Amino acid sequence: MRLLLTGAAGMLGHDVTAAAERAGHDVTPLSRRELDIRDADAVHAAIAAARPDAVINCAAWTDVDGAEADEADATALNGAAAGHVAAAAARAGAFTLQISTDYVFDGTATTPYLESAPTGPRSAYGRSKLAGELAVAEHAPSAHAIVRTAWLFGPHGRNFVATMRKLARERDELTVVDDQVGCPTFTGHLATALLTIAERRLGGIRHVAGGGACSWHDLAAATFQATGAEIELHRGRTADLDRPAPRPAYSVLRSERPDTPTLPPWQEGLHAYLELGVTA
């Protein structure tokens, strides 16, 4: 399979590129410096030149709090630009795979969100990503997948697990919120699933996230236990953090589509990540 990847320098992009190369695919990985997907003409030229069978769009505005102050720019990248990618891919006869997020939901559910659940983002970031979903569906109606995932961590970017390990070396005690529940997802596992979706052209909305669910406090505790960190861990509340963007209190994702790839439990993802020996 010929594969073009945008946002290749990011945390997920790194792992998708590596997984595709291991699988023997012909990969064109493009960083934001090499291809700004906000430039529709540049996107069309790059995809036409590469002649890919599939395009995976990992390019995104990921600063959740920053989006609150700059929603227009966040939406330009996460929304309209995703449409540029889908339109160019469709013109080239390629399948589009768009990465989306649990933030498209309002976070008030008490059971896992399925693909058919109504969206209702409460943050600028969530609205920008939902705009991207709609743009991709509009511009590549018959050849696209939208993969919603959550709580990513991997060896090639800033992430919660790395931050916890760094803080454990600097502090004797730490408070982490326990009123947000979601699905920690190891990018190494997600990357393989994305390739399966692209290879098989599994269309439509797909929920792909680490198996099981936990709070940020639970993930911190598991990280400290696995690494032998000696730190006193306290339970905190999201309200006490005073962040600009609202966070979903509950954002567990599950798929109701039987052909959607299933990821291992988040605990396996955590151990796979830690075994890489990455330090913050």
Q: Annotated catalytic sites, by residue? A: 125
Give the count of beta carbons closer than 10 Å to the beta carbon of residue 92: 17
CA distance 153 to 226: 16
Q: ∠ CA(229), CA(234), CA(235), 5° rounding?
A: 130
3-state class (DSSP) for residue 95: strand
CA distances for 34 relative to 27, 41, 52, 89, 270, angstroms: 15, 14, 17, 17, 31
CA distances for 127 relative to 14, 67, 100, 258, angstroms: 26, 10, 11, 28
User: Maximum CA pair distance of the chain?
Assistant: 56
Q: ∠ CA(36), CA(138), CA(186), 5° rounding?
A: 60
CA distance 37 to 47: 11
Kindly state the tokens that stand for 245.
């963007």
